[in-house]
Amino acid sequence: MSPRKSPFFELRSGAVDTLLFVVKTTDLGEMRAELTRRFEATPEFFANDVVAIDVRRLAENERVPLAEIAALLDSVRMRPIGVVADAAQHAWVSEANLPLLEARDRRPATKAAGEDEARAADETGAPASVAVAAASAAEGQAAAAAASQPAEPVLTGAAGASSQTLVVDKPLRSGQRIYAKGDLVVLGLVSHGAEIIAEGNIHIYAPLRGRALAGVHGDHDARIFCTCLEPELISIAGIYRTTENPLPADVQGKAVQIWLDEEKLVIEPLRLT
């Protein structure tokens, strides 16, 4: 049998979709506080999702304790698998005993003319294609050649939502939880204590009294549409609002649409007539 082939396993180069945790500060305390604030109300938000720590936004002379950041991510049930870094950062990044990963960003990630576009791509939290090479010495050159070829486009989240729309035509009671990989359409009451989650948009043609989380894999273009807004929590791409912050009278109990303006939730009445 050829040493390059086995009926039991293969080692080959490939690419997987993962979230990028983009580090923008060296203040670990502030990072911990913000991460806790962002996800404590939705502990299942990114539970068990793999994530790569991206340090490319740090200044040339800045360093962060990668092992502590990995532990922090693990504490909110995210699974760090490695680090994405610029070539100049490889020396100190390699000391953290985490794999170095190559990110094939879906938007430009340059620090010069394309910096604004890179920032927009980072803040969406959209999955990036991370190359993970695992090849034997005999396959090394072939794997490197394959990895250098342009990756095929991958449909994720809302991109494939049209074929993954989930329709729920029954009321949801307290404790029930619905997850949709694309858009989610709910035709019945969402009771207090119920939770509806979608990677795409959410449409609710009944009162929303529980929790609604849209664009959960970082889709900042996702929206929530509701005919009667009385929620415990609403969230788009990790930006959330709870009942601790009362809703304005012009949207409380009314038909609304909810969308993101940068990192701010915008709630506006729907004019249905």
pLDDT tens for each residue of 126-139: 455 565 543 333 33
Place of tokens 């580090």: 23
Mean pLDDT throughout 58-78?
90
Q: Which candidate, 242, 217, 222, places its Cα nearest to that of 44?
A: 217
**Domain boundary, last residue among 133, 154, 175:** 154
Q: Count of domains in the chain?
A: 2
Tell me, yes or no, whether 234 lies in a domain.
yes
Residues 202 and 169 in one domain: yes
Residues 32 and 116 in one domain: yes
Tell me, yes or no, whether 1 lies in a domain.
no
**Domain boundary, last residue among 154, 182, 204:** 154
Which of 48-68 are b and which e, b meaning 16 or more Cβ less than 10 Å from the residue's Cβ? Answer: eebbbbbbbbbeeeeebebee
Tell me, yes or no, whether 167 lies in a domain.
yes
We report the CATH number of the domain holding residue 207 as: 2.160.20.70
Min mean pLDDT across 83-87, 106-110, 157-161, 181-185 is at 157-161
Tell me, yes or no, whether 5 lies in a domain.
no
Residues 183 and 86 in one domain: no
Looking at residue 97, the DSSP 8-state letter turns out to be -
Mean pLDDT throughout 119-146?
41
Beta bridge partners of 102: 131
Residues 205 and 263 in one domain: yes
Min mean pLDDT across 26-30, 33-37, 45-49, 96-100 is at 45-49
Mean pLDDT throughout 56-62?
92
pLDDT of residue 137: 31
Looking at residue 48, the DSSP 8-state letter turns out to be T
Please work out, in degrees rounded to the nearest 5, the angle formed at the alpha carbon of residue 21 by the alpha carbons of 119 and 183: 80
Q: Which candidate, 202, 213, 223, places its Cα nearest to that of 266?
A: 223
In this prediction, residue 158 has a pLDDT band, given cuts at 50, 70 and 90, of very low
In this prediction, residue 33 has a pLDDT band, given cuts at 50, 70 and 90, of confident
We report the CATH number of the domain holding residue 81 as: 3.30.70.260
Residues 90 and 205 in one domain: no
DSSP strand pairing (100-104 vs 128-132): antiparallel
Residue 2 predicted with pLDDT over 60: no
Tell me, yes or no, whether 45 lies in a domain.
yes
Domain that holds residue 36: 14-154
**Domain boundary, last residue among 110, 125, 154:** 154
Taking the mean position of all CA atoms in its chain, how far away is CA 244?
25
| DSSP track, 128-161 | EEEEE----GGGHHHHHHHHTSPPPP---GGGGG
Residues 144 and 28 in one domain: yes
